[in-house]
Amino acid sequence: MDLMSQAIALGNAGIAMVLGGLIGYERELKNRPAGFRTHMLVAGAAALLLGVGRLILDSGTFTAPGETLQIDPLRLIEAVVAGVAFIGAGTIFARRSDGAIAGITTAASLLMVAVIGVVCGLGFHLLGVTATLLTLVVLTILKVLER
C-alpha cells in the first residue's frame, strides 16, 4: 500500500475535521445537542471513507491479475448520508408542551459537514473551505437578520 496515498487520505480527513470543527464550534457556543467534536468526527469520517475508496481502487489488492475493480463513488456518498441521517435524527427533539421542534438546524449542519467531508475526501479543498464559510454565514449572520 502506497504510504503517500495514505498520507493524502489522512491529510484530507484532517482538513475536513478542521472545517467541521469550525461549524461545530459555532453549534457548541449556542449549546446545541451536537457540537465541536461531533461535527469534527462526522466530517473526518466522511472524508476518510472517500479516501479509503480511492485507496482501494488504486491498490489493486482486491483484484486478480488482469481484472479491474470498479467502485461507484456515489455509493460511498450515499453511505455517508445514511449514517448522518441516523445521527441527525437523534439531534431533533419535539417538545410536547408547546409542540416546538428543536435540533433541525443542528441536524442540517451535520449533513453539511458530512458533505464538506466528502468534498475534502475527494480533494476539493477550495470547495470545502467555501462551503464552510457559507455555512457559518447561514448559522451566524442570517440568524441575526432573521430576528
Q: Residue 34 above 90 pLDDT? A: no
How far is C-alpha 79 from the chain's CA centre? 11
Q: Per-residue pLDDT averaged across 16-41, rounded?
A: 93
- How far apart are the C-alpha atoms of 12 and 33, rounded to whole Å? 26
- The grid coordinates listed for 83 are 449514517
- pLDDT tens digit sequence for 13-28: 999 999 999 999 999 9
94 beta partners? 101
Classify residue 102 by its DSSP letter: E
- How far apart are the C-alpha atoms of 128 and 114, rounded to whole Å? 10
Q: Per-residue pLDDT averaged across 123-130, rounded?
A: 98
- pLDDT tens digit sequence for 83-106: 998 888 888 876 666 777 888 899
pTM surpassing 0.95? Answer: no
Average pLDDT score over the chain: 89
pLDDT confidence of 5, banded at 50, 70, 90?
A: very high
Q: Residue 51 above 70 pLDDT? A: yes
Higher confidence at residue 94 or residue 110? 110
Q: Residue 1 above 70 pLDDT? A: no
pLDDT on residue 38: 94
Q: Residue 129 above 80 pLDDT? A: yes
CB-based contacts of 87, cutoff 8 Å, min separation 6 = 34, 38, 42, 110
Percent of the chain with pLDDT over 70: 96
